[in-house]
Amino acid sequence: METTIKSDRVTHSPNRITKYNAQEIEMKWQSRWEADKLYRTDLEQTDNKYYFVTMYPYPSGDLHIGHWYAMAPSDVKARYLRMRGKNVFFPMGFDAFGLPAENAAIKRGIHPNTWTLQNIANMERQMRTMGASFDWEREVITCDPRYYKWNQWFFIQMFKRGLAYKKKQAVDWCPKDQTVLAREQVVGPDRLCERCDTPVIKKDLEQWFLKITAYAEELLDFSGIDWPEKVKTLQTNWIGRSEGVQFTMQVADRDETFDVFTTRQDTVFGMSFAVLAPEHHLVDLITTPERRAEVEDYVFKTRRETEIDRMSTEKVRDGVFTGAYAINPMNGERVPIWIADYVLTTYGTGAIMGVPAHDERDFDFAKRYGLDIHVVIAPANWNGEPLSAAYTEPGTMVNSGEFNGLDSETAKARIADYMEEKGIGKSTVNYRLRDWLISRQRYWGTPIPIVYCEEHGIVPVPEEELPVVLPLEGVEFQPTGLSPLTYHEEFPYAKCPIDGNPARRETDTMDAFVDSSWYWYGYLDPYNAERVINPELVKRWTPVDQYTGGVEHAVLHLLYARFWTKVMRDIGLVQYDEPFLKLFNQGTILTNGMRMSKSRGNVVSPDSYVESLGADTVRVYLMFIGPWDQGGDWDDSGIGGAHRWLQRVWTLVLDAPNGKEKIPAATDEQVKILRRVMHQTIQRVGSDIEAFKFNTAVAALMEFTNALSRAKESAWYPNAVWGEAIRSLLLMLAPSAPHIAEEMWERLGGTYSIHQQSWPQYDPNAAAEEKFTLVVQVNGKVRGKIELPVDVSEEVAKAAALNEENAKRYLEGRTPAQVIYVPKKLVNVVVR
């Protein structure tokens, strides 16, 4: 030990050191790192590769505090992993197609391309002020033809495989944005447009879909990926798998049949009516002349209702009788066929069996129209009285022919088998998931590479002619309900790739979620003209090791991305099933409980904080305010605390001795304690960052700073010991506050760059405590505390506890009934 070395070290003298000037330091290091290409990843070097992606932003114009909240902690983790020896690839790009650009064009007369590129330039500048370690050389901007060319290529591959198809159906239309939307982009019970909160309406339109439903079953399988339960649940519910049977019903006295789907085949003997969706094709055919007027009125009414504001829709279950009857295939009974809008065309077969006794909706409907209610599953202790509500629980089968007496769960399986045997129906799985509608009647997106020929119909553009370039000139942006490209002078006029005759080009563009479905493959080989992906790099670097982003994309981007990768697998581009091995969802920063958005005008800019306090302070504060996955309302009242801490670190590290006041040399014990705290901190900070617990990682660093300050005031430490502690502090600070850490590192004579150093080595022996505080409880209440060596025996600990002054007062005259000993924790003395 070197504790005998004389000290001339003294308490601090803040006047002697340079003031912490965040702006100056940050600008200096940002340009240095950039000049030195510090964060350019060597993709050829794949030992210890780690592909870390954080969701790329939409270039709305300004990087707000919410972007920082998403990106800065990701950057911290990327930096940390590099120090742990990983070859981290941490790219960034822009989700550059989409509506806001076009809306800006309409509102302010600026071209969407200009608007987008200006915004990107500004946001890149802002991201640099954050000090993020993105590899900008692999940037991808999705509105670049060299990128969206491959969207078109993918589309054609899917078209060839039947995974992209065009179909006319009732789709969701946003009247404000004048375009259709995917089912996933219609939110909440009021069915609002995801972008502009306008209630959507239904329109019958011919649109392009991607057949995501072909992967429904596979998308339910999350094995092999480490994703938050929440996202898995959201996706699972969204896909909405249900098992049941589909069986055929004969229309009485007619040569027509229709299929129904049910998950409750055990209740089939209780059917007392059948219901078709008003849009069902049979409605017109089977309606009897005397019912026709009423039926047509109802059909007209429902069609109108879907087009008016859905908010006013009350869930009244009404419908009308068609006059026709159907035969229950299980017992030959005739049941009336009704139509009602509570039956949806878009799910199952668009027709149901009505079993009022065992389905709430059917019960309401039957009550309203005086239809029969047959109980076929007896509740416990039921003795034949009418039900006051539908009984939907399992029970004993009654009035069900040969299935009587079985419990309904068993009967479910038996009846399914029976139906299969008799050819009545078959076991079926239904999903709520719909195919992904990707057509958009807007300009700023990837043109769909299709040509319509009078002779040959729908013809894909040959791959060698890609990209179909989105024209930048000669476009009127006013939305008309048709794509602005429709009115372009040249764009719509094409030649049929087969016969060369004049043909019409598809003028709709693709949903921007197509762009984001594969962009991380693009980073590995941006804008390659020859091939969609670089197979070598994709093989070596993907799947992505860690993905971070907001949970709002759970059933949008994150579902589409999984689908896309599975398609890529089936095309032979990748050899695995899932794009992102690990996912972490950070929370959202709100203002007054509301999401930040430019349109709401409630965005908080980090720029003024960066200017006055520095990027390092903002980064640290964002990490510190709470658990990363929690988010919360923006409140800057504590940001001064983060700044003060960095200031204290600055002083602690750089304060030079001035030789005036002597303080004692540290004892062996003090040195040991200092090193112990250091190693405990190394352990804590590392495991916290690993677990994305940035708030407690910062807290641990603050505690370490406090411990060092106290140590420095009370004793002089030998250079080796003190230097090691300070260096560890800086190394651990480096991912969180990269600029100030680099500056102090340089001033201490450290090798450039601190960001290329290794994370300090954790030594469990050095971290181990020698003593612990034994808590002495009497009847479970804390009555005293004793310091004891960690290896104390149970007997000694118990004896010490029983002898503790304050505890003794509670034990006076009484014999302990029981003495509980928890090693290294406590002794609880139980008295009666």
Which residue, among 378, 372, 390, has the nearest Cα to 336 in the 3D structure?
372
Which residue, among 206, 801, 146, has the nearest Cα to 506 in the 3D structure?
206
Query: Phi, psi at residue 720, to the nearest 5°?
Result: -60, -45
172-201 residues near RNA, rule: CB under 7 A = 187-189
Which tokens is 302 given?
Answer: 């429902």
Contacting range for RNA; rule: CB under 7 A; set: 93-101, 238-246, 251-259, 285-293: 238-246
Each residue of 106-132: b (16+ CB within 10 Å) or e? eeeeebbbebbbebbeebbebbbbbbb
Which residue, among 124, 136, 34, has the nearest Cα to 90 in the 3D structure?
136
Which tokens is 583 given?
Answer: 């996912």
313 touches RNA (CB under 7 A): yes
CA distance linking residue 632 with residue 635, whole number of Å? 9
In three-state secondary structure terms, 289 is helix
Count of residues binding RNA (CB under 7 A)? 80
C-beta of 33 vs 258, nearer to RNA: 258
CA 43, 49, 51, 52 dihedral sign is negative
Query: Phi, psi at residue 722, to the nearest 5°?
Result: -65, -45
262 touches RNA (CB under 7 A): yes
822 touches RNA (CB under 7 A): yes
C-beta of 154 vs 694, nearer to RNA: 694
Q: Three-state secondary structure along 115-148?
A: HHHHHHHHHHHHHHHCCCCCEEEEEEECCCHHHH
501-520 residues near RNA, rule: CB under 7 A = none
Type of residue numbered 389 = A
Type of residue numbered 206 = E
Q: Which of 64, 77, 317, 505 binds RNA (CB under 7 A)?
A: 317
Contacting range for RNA; rule: CB under 7 A; set: 205-213, 240-248, 324-332, 535-543: 240-248
Q: How far is the CB of 440 from RNA (least distance, A)?
A: 20
Q: Three-state secondary structure along 465-523?
A: HCCCCCCCCCCCCCCCCCCHHHHCCCCCEEECCCCCCEEEECCCEECCCCHHHCHHHHH
Contacting range for RNA; rule: CB under 7 A; set: 124-132, 311-319, 471-479, 659-667: 311-319
576 touches RNA (CB under 7 A): no
Q: Which of 224, 240, 405, 481 binds RNA (CB under 7 A)?
A: 240
Contacting range for RNA; rule: CB under 7 A; set: 28-36, 519-527, 664-672, 692-700: 692-700
What are the helix (H) ranges across 320-407?
360-369
308 touches RNA (CB under 7 A): no
392-431 residues near RNA, rule: CB under 7 A = 430
C-beta of 59 vs 270, nearer to RNA: 270
Which tokens is 328 given?
Answer: 């229950």
66 touches RNA (CB under 7 A): no
C-beta of 67 vs 358, nearer to RNA: 358
Q: Which of 272, 322, 681, 828 binds RNA (CB under 7 A)?
A: 828
Q: How far apart are the first and last CA of the chain?
A: 53
CA distance linking residue 591 with residue 607, whole number of Å? 17
Contacting range for RNA; rule: CB under 7 A; set: 170-178, 476-484, 568-576, 642-650: 642-650
Q: Which of 333, 703, 724, 746 binds RNA (CB under 7 A)?
A: 703
659 touches RNA (CB under 7 A): no
Report, in angstroms and rounded to the nearest whole number, the Rg of the chain calculated over CA atoms: 35
C-beta of 171 vs 466, nearer to RNA: 171
271-290 residues near RNA, rule: CB under 7 A = 277
208-237 residues near RNA, rule: CB under 7 A = 229-230, 233-234, 237
Which tokens is 828 given?
Answer: 């609880």
Q: Which of 143, 330, 352, 376 binds RNA (CB under 7 A)?
A: 352
C-beta of 333 vs 476, nearer to RNA: 333
661 touches RNA (CB under 7 A): no
543 touches RNA (CB under 7 A): no
599-638 residues near RNA, rule: CB under 7 A = 624-627, 630, 632, 635, 637-638
Q: Which of 457, 481, 641, 789 binds RNA (CB under 7 A)?
A: 641
Contacting range for RNA; rule: CB under 7 A; set: 508-516, 571-579, 695-703, 748-756: 695-703
Query: Phi, psi at residue 778, to the nearest 5°?
Result: -120, 120
In three-state secondary structure terms, 788 is strand
Q: Which of 5, 344, 472, 796 binds RNA (CB under 7 A)?
A: 344
Here's the x/- map for RNA, 709-728, by CB under 7 A: it reads as: x-------------------
The count of other CB atoms within 10 Å of the CB of residue 402 is 11
